[in-house]
Structure formats: structure tokens, C-alpha cells
A = this chain, B = another copy of it.
């Protein structure tokens, strides 16, 4: 068995081919498919032009429903509370504790309006207001996650969004009780059991029964992602997420079983998920690999995790912590776990990461559910320019400019020179009318 496929790749950051091997490991083909785009375009057009009727038709056909009108697809608010009541006490309490912690954290993100007044009485500032209406897409079936409802809905409600509409497909009429309960806990205003591109179309264009929204957030399959891309510009959307990833930097002093399980918690998501461990301690990498060999067969999602680790996982040996951070900054990971004695010493050197899990007692799983920060994070290196989903994603700003007569007279002189320099005469003359003579 000398040719046995290793459980996970081993890389050494000091070798000449490291850079090329890392590139190959990170490479990931974002899905884009002409056939899907054609189907999605047809659905978007149908819902745009025929509204409720098209939405009902597609839902009956694609989700095996038999409803006669859109009203039948709207979940009464009482059902959400019934779902919450129906949960085992332990689950209900866990949802409520998580929601409360997520709410408390996100309240720190709410941005206030501000202004300042200059000596001549001119006032400048920004007025910050919530979006009026937001749509939240929630996948149906097996990938239907209550934690995702909390993480997407709560920041919107903390921002002050007046109407939060959740769409979730109910294949064969079935809905996940924990998802409905999470909607109740998070304060979702309306739940409609539609999904796919037709749900995105309804949110973006509005129908007779459903108002159009200003922004659509939440994960979905390739049809949903393609539809979101297509309506982007008419409404705002969140980032289209790639596969989830974790990068653990460990000094070699954390229990190898803990690190193995932290890596598994990413790898069990799906075959494309990426789990990477970086350490300066080669013997520790051996111990973690041994722990992985031993623990992997005990996982209920062993097959998925095994494929993910074989295809996209890596144990990377580095010379020291500076090299570990260089590797991490190059990857700009979605989740970065600093499983070391003094994570604060490393933090200033972290240039890009979606979320940073500090110390041996902060596994990613705590952040996924209930620590407070959002679990919707930039993937595939986009932490270079993107942020966790937050309250700021549901607020918008208007500039405020209020010139005093005196202030306007001075500003107009500068504006006039620049406008004439750009050959925009009406701009210049509009300004010049305000110059005191």
C-alpha cells in the first residue's frame, strides 16, 4: 500500500515549487454556465411580465406544489411562532441565545448620521438611513440552515429595515421547522415559499402581490446566483459566495484532536470546501494528520470531508510565524484561526481575513453559530476587498450640503474656475450666481 493516496496534501513553504503548488491548491472554477443563464433569463422575463401567475406556475412545476394563487404561498405569521413553540426547549433556547448575541454584536455596527458646521455657517455631513425593503433568500431542502436565517436577517433588522421578506422554497410543501422558528426569532416580516430564479425575479421586479425590494441577500444554488447577478444594478445584492475555507495557524501546542476537528468542521460542508493548517512544527503536522486519520472514520459526513481534504486540503510547513502570516495574507482566508499562545502578537500582521478566531479556545464553529459576529464572510481571497455581512450593508448614505450665503460666495469662486477648466459653462454660471457682488 505504498501508493496509498494521502488523506491530505503536505506542502513546505520553503521549497521552490511552493508558490505554484499553492496556486494550484487555491484554484477554483467559479460556476458559470450558458445553459443555466438561458433558463434563468426566461424565468426572469416571465415573472417580470406575468407576475404572480408566472411565479405560481414555476413554483408548482419546480417545487412539486399544487397551489392556485400566490396567497397560498405566503406563510401566515402565526405559523412562524407555532414552529418556534414546537421546537425542543434546548433548540429554542439555543436559537434565542444565538439571536441575542448576534443582535448585541451587530448593534455596534450601526452607523449614525453626522455633520459639522464651518466658520462661515456652511454645514456638511451625511445622513444615514436604512434601506426600506430587503429580500432574504433561504435555500430549501437539506441545505436549509436556521443559522443562516439569523445571520442574514438580524443585521437588516438592526439597521432598521422596515420590511424584510424571506423567500424559501418548500419542495413538496415541506418546510424546515427550525428555519421558520429562526425567522420568528430574527423578526422576519414576511415569509413566501418560493425559490430559485423565480423567487429572485419576484424580489427584484415585484409582482401584484409582492413588493419589489432594494437588496437581495442570502445563499443559493447556481440558478439563484445567476439570477442575482442578472438583476444586480436594479437591486443591490450581496457577494456571490465561493466554497467556504478555513486557514488555521498553529504553534504546535494545541491538542492535535482539536485542530483536526476544526479542519473537519470546514471540510464537512461540501466537496469544494478548503481546510488548510499552517505550522512551523513538522512533528505537530504529523500528529494532526494522525489525529485526522483516526477521527475521520468517526464522522457522519466522512465521505464529504474525505473528498474535500483530498482535493483541496493541505498541511503547510513554514519556517516561522512570519512566514505563516505571509502565506495567510496571500490566501486572504475567509476564516483564520490563530491557535497560538499569544494571538494578539500576530494580529497586527494579519492583512486580510474575513474573520479572525483568536487563541486555542475559539474554533470557527463558535463563530458560525453564536459568538455574535456574522458567518457570512468573503470567500476565495475576496477578503482583500470585502467585509463580513453587517449592518452597514443595509444602510445607505446621503451627502448633506447646506451652504450659507457667505460660504456659497467663496466656494462659487473655486467651482467657477474648475468648471470653466472643464468647459462646463452652465456649472460655472450656476455657481457664479451665488457670488456676492
Instruction: Enumerate chain A interface residues (CB-CB to B < 8 A).
Output: 30, 90-91, 93-95, 97-98, 105, 108-109, 114, 116, 122-127, 129, 131-132, 145-147, 178, 214-215, 233, 235-236, 239-240, 255, 257-258, 261-262, 264-265, 267-269, 299-301, 305, 336, 343, 347, 350-359, 361-374, 377, 382-388, 390, 392, 396-405, 407-408, 411-412, 414-415, 417-419, 421-431, 433-434
Contacts and interface: CB of A to CB of B under 8 A. Distances in A.
Nearest to A428: B365
B421 A299 contact: no
Nearest to A257: B433
6 contacts: A91-B418, A98-B414, A178-B422, A366-B434, A373-B400, A388-B398
Contacts of A421: 91, 94, 146, 178
Contacts of A90: 417
Contact of A240 (B233, B336, B426): B233
B424 A367 contact: no
SS of A interface (majority): mixed
Given A178-B421, A388-B398, 9 more contacts: A91-B417, A105-B124, A122-B371, A146-B421, A268-B426, A300-B423, A353-B398, A354-B398, A373-B399
Nearest to A434: B361
Contacts of A433: 255, 257-258, 261, 363
A105 B115 CA distance: 10
A396 B400 contact: no
B397 A387 contact: yes
A386 to B, nearest CB: 6
A288 to B, nearest CB: 13
Copies in the complex: 2
B361 A403 contact: yes
- 10 nearest CB pairs, A to B: A358-B402, A373-B399, A361-B408, A264-B426, A355-B399, A94-B417, A387-B397, A236-B385, A369-B415, A214-B385
B365 A419 contact: yes
A96 B47 CA distance: 52
Contact of A418 (B98, B352, B422, B434): B98
B365 A401 contact: no
A147 B414 CA distance: 12
Contact of A347 (B127, B404, B412, B422): B127
Residue from A368, A390, A404 whose CB has the most chain B CB atoms within 10 Å? A368
B404 A397 contact: no
A71 B268 CA distance: 49
B350 A398 contact: yes
Contacts of A354: 398-399
Contacts of A132: 351, 384
Given A236-B386, A265-B426, A361-B408, A95 B418 contact: yes
A20 B430 CA distance: 32
A408 to B, nearest CB: 4
Nearest to A395: B387
Given A98-B418, A361-B404, A364-B430, A425 B370 contact: no
A426 B308 CA distance: 14
A384 B387 CA distance: 21
A399 B366 contact: no
Contact of A402 (B235, B350, B359, B429): B359
Contacts of A240: 233
Contacts of A269: 424
A258 B355 CA distance: 52
Contacts of A105: 124
A374 B400 CA distance: 10
Residue from A30, A123, A255, A396 whose CB has the most chain B CB atoms within 10 Å? A396
A433 to B, nearest CB: 5
A258 B146 CA distance: 56
B268 A411 contact: no
Given A367-B401, A368-B427, A399-B354, A418 B268 contact: no
